[in-house]
Structure 1
Amino acid sequence: MGLGNPQEDLFAFGVSKQDFEAIEIAKSENRLQLIDGKELVEVLTGVWTCGNGAHTPGSQWILIQGSNKTLISLCVDSAYLYKNIEEMIPIGSCVSKSANLSAIKQMKTTADVLVPGHDLLICKQFRNFEQQTRVYIIDPGCNSSSIGELEKSINVHEKLGNSNFNPHWLKPVKEFEYYGNQENDIRGKSSWISDSELKEKFLDTNLPVVLRQVKSQKRCFDWDLNYLREKCENNIVIVRTETNRLLYRQGKRVPIEKMKFGRYATQILEKQKCRKRYYLAACNVKKALPQVNDEVYVPSFVKKIHKGPFLWVAPEEHYEFCHFDPDDGLLIVLSGKKTVRVFPPRYVDEMYPNPLGSYGRTIQSQVDKIGSVPDLDMYPEFRNVEGFETTLQTGDMLYIPAFWWHQVCSDEMTLSLNIFWGSERFLEKVRYHPGVRKSFDFWLLNVIEQNRAFSSFLKVLADLNEQIRRFLYNTWGEMITEEFAEEIRENVIEYLLKSMKSSDVFYSEQMPNPLSSFPVPRAKHTQRLKIRGLMHRNGNGALKEQTFKR
Structure 2
Amino acid sequence: MELGPCTTKWTVDYLSQAEGSKEVKIHVSTVPQMDFLSKNFVYRTLPFDVFVRRAAEVNHQEYFLSEDEKYYLRSVGEDARKDIADIRKQFPVLAKDVQIPEYFEKEQFFSSVFRISSAGLQLWTHYDVMDNFLIQVTGKKRVVLYSPRDAPYLYLSGTKSEVLDVDNPDMEKYPLFVKAKRYQCLLEAGDVLFIPALWFHNVISEEFGVALNVFWKHLPAESYDKTDTYGNKDPMAASRAIQILDRALKTLEELPEEYRDFYARRMVLRIQEKAYRNDYG
CA distance in 2, matches of 1:382, 1:238: 34
CA distance in 1, matches of 2:55, 2:238: 49
Shift of 1:267: 1.1
Q: Is the 8 A contact 2:223 2:237 kept in 1?
A: no
CA distance in 2, matches of 1:321, 1:487: 23
What is the CA deviation profile of residues 19-50 of structure 1, one whole-angstrom value per residue up to 9, with x for unaligned ones? xxxxxxxxxxxxxxxxxxxxxxxxxxxxxxxx
CA distance in 1, matches of 2:162, 2:31: 15
Out of 51, 54, 64, which is 1:264 matched to? 51
Q: Is the 8 A contact 1:321 1:368 kept in 2?
A: yes
Q: 1:275 to 1:265 in 2, by over 3 A?
A: farther
Shift of 1:318: 1.0
1:398 and 2:193 equivalent? yes
Q: Which has the higher strand share?
A: 2
When normalised by structure 1's length, the TM-score is 0.38
What is the CA deviation profile of residues 377-420 of structure 1, one whole-angstrom value per residue up to 9, with x for unaligned ones? 11011011012100010110000011110001111111111111
CA distance in 2, matches of 1:335, 1:389: 19
Q: Is the 8 A contact 2:140 2:207 kept in 1?
A: yes
Out of 416, 423, 427, which is 2:211 matched to? 416
Q: Secondary structure at the match of 1:296?
A: coil
CA distance in 2, matches of 1:488, 1:244: 33
Q: Is the 8 A contact 2:74 2:114 kept in 1?
A: yes
Letter in 1 for 2:225: L
What is the CA deviation profile of residues 491-537 of structure 1, one whole-angstrom value per residue up to 9, with x for unaligned ones? 5223134248xxxxxxxxxxxxxxxxxxxxxxxxxxxxxxxxxxxxx
Q: Is the 8 A contact 2:113 2:212 kept in 1?
A: yes
Out of 162, 171, 176, which is 1:381 matched to? 176
When normalised by structure 2's length, the TM-score is 0.71
CA distance in 2, matches of 1:389, 1:323: 15
1:366 and 2:153 equivalent? no
1:493 and 2:244 equivalent? yes
Letter in 1 for 2:91: L
Equivalence for 1:342:
145
CA distance in 1, matches of 2:75, 2:238: 32
CA distance in 2, matches of 1:351, 1:276: 28
Q: 1:277 to 1:487 in 2, by over 3 A?
A: closer
Equivalence for 1:294:
96
Number of residue pairs matched by the alignment: 227
Out of 272, 280, 292, which is 2:73 matched to? 280
Q: Is the 8 A contact 2:32 2:120 kept in 1?
A: no
Letter in 2 for 1:472: D
Shift of 1:294: 2.2
1:238 and 2:25 equivalent? yes
The 5 A counterparts of 1:288-327 are 288-303=90-105, 304-307=108-111, 309-327=112-130
CA distance in 1, matches of 2:32, 2:14: 30
Equivalence for 1:437:
none
What is the CA deviation profile of residues 208-251 of structure 1, one whole-angstrom value per residue up to 9, with x for unaligned ones? xxxxxx234x23222122101011121111101226266x3364
Equivalence for 2:64:
none
Q: Secondary structure at the match of 2:46?
A: strand
What percentage of aligned pairs have identical amino acids?
23
Q: Is the 8 A contact 2:70 2:121 kept in 1?
A: no
Q: Is the 8 A contact 2:135 2:212 kept in 1?
A: yes
Q: Is the 8 A contact 2:223 2:236 kept in 1?
A: no
Larger radius of gyration: 1
1:249 and 2:35 equivalent? yes
Taking only aligned residues, the RMSD between alpha carbons, in angstroms, comes to 2.7
Letter in 2 for 1:290: P
CA distance in 1, matches of 2:42, 2:90: 19
Q: 1:392 to 1:491 in 2, by over 3 A?
A: closer
Q: Is the 8 A contact 1:342 1:406 kept in 2?
A: yes
Shift of 1:270: 4.5
Q: Is the 8 A contact 2:56 2:118 kept in 1?
A: no
Q: 1:390 to 1:486 in 2, by over 3 A?
A: closer
Equivalence for 2:225:
472
Shift of 1:302: 3.1
Letter in 2 for 1:494: L
Shift of 1:486: 7.0
Equivalence for 2:15:
228
CA distance in 2, matches of 1:263, 1:487: 42
Equivalence for 2:275:
none
CA distance in 1, matches of 2:193, 2:226: 26
CA distance in 2, matches of 1:340, 1:245: 15
Stretches of structure 2 lacking an aligned partner (at least 5 in a row): 61-66, 77-84, 230-234, 252-281
CA distance in 2, matches of 1:270, 1:383: 35
CA distance in 2, matches of 1:281, 1:306: 15
Q: 1:389 to 1:490 in 2, by over 3 A?
A: closer
Q: 1:286 to 1:251 in 2, by over 3 A?
A: farther
Q: 1:396 to 1:251 in 2, by over 3 A?
A: farther
Q: Is the 8 A contact 2:56 2:119 kept in 1?
A: no
Q: 1:255 to 1:499 in 2, by over 3 A?
A: farther
Q: Is the 8 A contact 1:236 1:288 kept in 2?
A: no
